[in-house]
Amino acid sequence: AQARLAQAQRMEALGQLAGGIAHDFNNVLQAVQGGARLIASDAADPGRVRRLALMVVDAASRGAAVTRRLLTFARRADLRAEPVDVADLLTAMREILRHTLGSGIEVRVQVAPNVPALLADRGQLETVLVNLAANARDAMGGAGVLTLSAIHEAVANGNGAAAGAAGLKAGAYVRLSIADTGVGMDAPTLARATEPFFTTKPRGQGTGLGLAMARGFAEQSAGALTIESAPGFGTTVRLWLPVAPSEPVAPAPHVAEPRPQAD
Ligand code: ADP
């Protein structure tokens, strides 16, 4: 029954997502169609044809990304885990968020020394972080501080209250935190926050899928998600993701002598 309920929720979520995706997809198709039509009518100018063809290729890959999003949610099997450099990830996120959150929100990044690479699908992880940041922005009403941070954390069996509660296996993790200075959640909201379709936002503004998808992503990536929140104190969402297996030990770098130029 549990599995059937989860399946039903997934189907329902798909229905909701389908509307947004159909819209995105239609934009992409229009770009493909328009580009192809122009190529057909203007095949005499090779430079222009090339530019238009590149535009079509670009639009098609955006289309593929849209369907990938849909498939990930439908089948939950399309994650491509790769080692992700944490400082690089959070610096890139800061840039994205600075441009999307509005000038009233200060974005801070704190990466502890020696945080190893984590193992996850980077594109999906960025989408999750953008969604969490959008929640933080909504909670802060346009002004406040958003802090993205990362530390390396070893989880031992039955060790660490939060990690234990999140059901993490023993192992090495990178813990990413996204903390806001917003309104926070009361206990009943916190208890339901990661349920699919649970939202306290006005109709049309919330889907109730952001945290559900973030949690699904963490769990599929062999990690976990926890939330700490209290009214008036803000919210911290923590994502544990496994440390990437270390690279095979590379042979000592061989510094090639610059060869004298033969002439
Ligand atoms: P949505 O944002 O579409 O409502 P989510 O699953 O992302 O869906 O969030 C569910 C609910 O959890 C929100 O409606 C809000 O009540 C609460 N919530 C999520 N993130 C935060 C946050 N950073 N601060 C306060 N409340 C939050």
Q: How far apart are the first and last CA of the chain?
A: 79
CA 227/CA 238 separation, integer angstroms:
6
Helix axes 86-100, 122-140, angle to 10 degrees: 40
HSE-up of residue 27 (Cα within 13 Å, Cβ side): 9
pLDDT for 41: 80
User: For ligand 1, what atom is nearest to the CA of residue 193?
Assistant: 12
pLDDT for 2: 63
Q: For ligand 1, is residue 193 a contact (CB within 6 Å)?
A: yes
pLDDT for 69: 64
User: For ligand 1, what atom is nearest to the CA of residue 182?
Assistant: 24
Q: For ligand 1, is residue 70 a contact (CB within 6 Å)?
A: no
Q: For ligand 1, is residue 198 a contact (CB within 6 Å)?
A: yes
Going from the Cα of 86 to the center of ligand 1, the distance in angstroms, rounded, reads: 25
pLDDT for 189: 96
For ligand 1, atom 12, which residue shows the shortest CA distance? Answer: 193
pLDDT for 115: 96
ipTM exceeds 0.95: yes
Q: For ligand 1, is residue 136 a contact (CB within 6 Å)?
A: yes
pTM attached to this predicted model:
0.70
Q: For ligand 1, is residue 200 a contact (CB within 6 Å)?
A: yes
pLDDT for 50: 84
For ligand 1, atom 13, which residue shows the shortest CA distance? Answer: 199
pLDDT for 246: 82
CA 234/CA 111 separation, integer angstroms:
21
Comparing CA positions, the residue from 179, 176, 194 lying closest to residue 241 is 176
Q: For ligand 1, is residue 37 a contact (CB within 6 Å)?
A: no
Q: For ligand 1, is residue 210 a contact (CB within 6 Å)?
A: yes
pLDDT for 223: 93
Which residue's entry shows tokens 């090339």?
Answer: 50
Cα angle, residue 105 at apex, residues 188 and 115 outer, rounded to 5°:
80
Average confidence (pLDDT) per 10 residues, the chain, 263 residues:
63 64 71 80 80 82 69 60 95 88 93 95 89 93 95 78 70 96 97 87 80 88 94 96 79 54 52
User: For ligand 1, what atom is nearest to the CA of residue 207?
Assistant: 3
DSSP 244: P
Q: How far from 123 is each of 84, 88, 100, 119, 221, CA to CA, in Å?
A: 10, 13, 17, 12, 13
